[in-house]
Amino acid sequence: MKRKNLLKILGLLILVGNVANAEYSGKFEKTYSKNSDYKMKITSVKSGKSKRNVSKILSNQEIDLKLIEKIGDSNYFRNKNGIYYKSGEKVLKLDGVDKDSFEVMKFGNYGKDKNSVFYHNRKLDGVKPIGFEELDERFATYEGVLFNNGKKVEGVRRIESGDMDMNGLERIRVSDHWDLGYSNYFKNKDGIYYAGESKFLKLNGADKDSFSVTFKGKYGKDKNSVYYQDKKMDGVKPSEFIELNDIFAKDRNNIYIDGKKLENFEARDFLILDEKRFEYKNKKYYYDKKSKTVKEDK
């Protein structure tokens, strides 16, 4: 590197280090970009007693370090030039946002201004802030349409015999007592639903008053039956059914993977070794997720 360029970089680093009145102080570094002379990378940010690793990257032309502000406990930031969202190593500017009226919604992934709704840095087409409602970090509704990570879930209006009532729709937590997050099961006054890739699937015959979700959230059960996604598992008693980890579940007699009985293996001789490996009658096996088969671990 030429001495002239080196001195220029050192001068800029000294200048950054002297920003004493910044809302968030931290470690600042300069890095090169093919498209511009310099970019500012903030590798850590302190606010009060807390310290966050944020790895922000913004061009010198658009950032004002004295006015940078983190919005609440979210990944959204603001300065005099606009609103930004941090995604991994990148900081993405929200195009077309009204920065004066912008606010982050309850769960932190969606934001809104007086005109529009955003998921991270992306504006949701045709969606207005009035009538838009978050269900949790992932799901939201607007005029009867479900959004999953900011994308419309197609076919959500039709559930078997008619239109699904989105009013009062509630996502079921993994536990009522422990903060273990949410499942893909939902309920409203009409019943229990599983949110599939493209639509809601109703659990026919499910008792919504006694329905609960297993601790990993993959299975649901009521007082009478056990369900994998929206399918009832024939002959499985809820009082005997246990989800063991992300792959395996069992009842009194059998082992299950993704709601299906694992043939030739009985629960009484089944011993889990780790997330995908187990021992059965003095032999070791593992579950191959790619082929979705159990293989002997030799």
Looking at 130, 149, 168, the residue that finishes a domain is: 149
Do residues 31 and 13 make contact, with C-beta atoms less than 8 angstroms apart?
no
180: left (phi over 0), alpha (psi -120 to 50) or beta: alpha
Asked whether residue 79 falls in the same domain as residue 47, the answer is: yes
Among the listed residues 174, 166, 181, 251, the one whose alpha carbon sits nearest the alpha carbon of residue 213: 174
Distance, CA of 120 to chain centre: 12
Judge whether 182 lies within some domain. no
Structure tokens at 63: 């950032």
The three-class DSSP label of residue 12 is helix
How many domains does the structure of the chain reveal? 2
Judge whether 165 lies within some domain. no
Residue 90 pLDDT: 75
Single pTM value for the model: 0.51
Judge whether 290 lies within some domain. no
Judge whether 161 lies within some domain. no
Structure tokens at 25: 């102080």
Query: Cα(12)–Cα(84) distance, rounded to whole angstroms?
Result: 23
Looking at 45, 68, 93, the residue that finishes a domain is: 93
Judge whether 56 lies within some domain. yes
Query: Cα(43)–Cα(292) distance, rounded to whole angstroms?
Result: 41
Asked whether residue 80 falls in the same domain as residue 108, the answer is: no
Query: Cα(16)–Cα(36) distance, rounded to whole angstroms?
Result: 18
Asked whether residue 14 falls in the same domain as residue 73, the answer is: yes
Do residues 88 and 116 make contact, with C-beta atoms less than 8 angstroms apart?
no
Judge whether 267 lies within some domain. no
Asked whether residue 63 falls in the same domain as residue 120, the answer is: no
Taking the CB of residue 10, how many other CB atoms lie within 10 A of it? Answer: 11
Asked whether residue 33 falls in the same domain as residue 102, the answer is: no
Asked whether residue 71 falls in the same domain as residue 121, the answer is: no
Query: Residue type at 153?
Result: V
Do residues 157 and 144 make contact, with C-beta atoms less than 8 angstroms apart?
yes
Q: Give, as one character, the DSSP assignment of residue 223.
A: S
Structure tokens at 95: 């195009």
Looking at 125, 149, 173, the residue that finishes a domain is: 149
Chain position carrying tokens 């950032």:
63
Render each residue's pLDDT in the chain as its tens digit; 298 residues: 444 443 333 333 322 322 222 333 334 444 434 444 334 444 444 444 544 444 444 454 445 544 578 898 898 988 888 898 888 767 788 999 999 999 999 999 999 999 999 999 999 999 999 999 898 888 888 887 888 899 887 654 433 333 567 667 788 877 654 445 678 898 988 899 998 766 788 899 999 999 999 988 889 999 999 999 999 999 999 999 999 998 999 999 999 999 999 999 999 999 999 989 999 999 999 999 888 899 998 7
Asked whether residue 44 falls in the same domain as residue 73, the answer is: yes
Structure tokens at 1: 């590197």
Judge whether 223 lies within some domain. no
Total residues belonging to the chain: 298
Q: Give, as one character, the DSSP assignment of residue 267.
A: G
122: left (phi over 0), alpha (psi -120 to 50) or beta: beta
Asked whether residue 108 falls in the same domain as residue 135, the answer is: yes
Domain that holds residue 103: 95-149
Asked whether residue 67 falls in the same domain as residue 132, the answer is: no
Chain position carrying tokens 């990944």:
75
Residue 142 pLDDT: 87
Asked whether residue 88 falls in the same domain as residue 105, the answer is: no
Asked whether residue 60 falls in the same domain as residue 4, the answer is: yes
Query: Cα(273)–Cα(247) distance, rounded to whole angstroms?
Result: 12
The three-class DSSP label of residue 11 is helix
Judge whether 47 lies within some domain. yes
Query: Residue type at 218?
Result: K
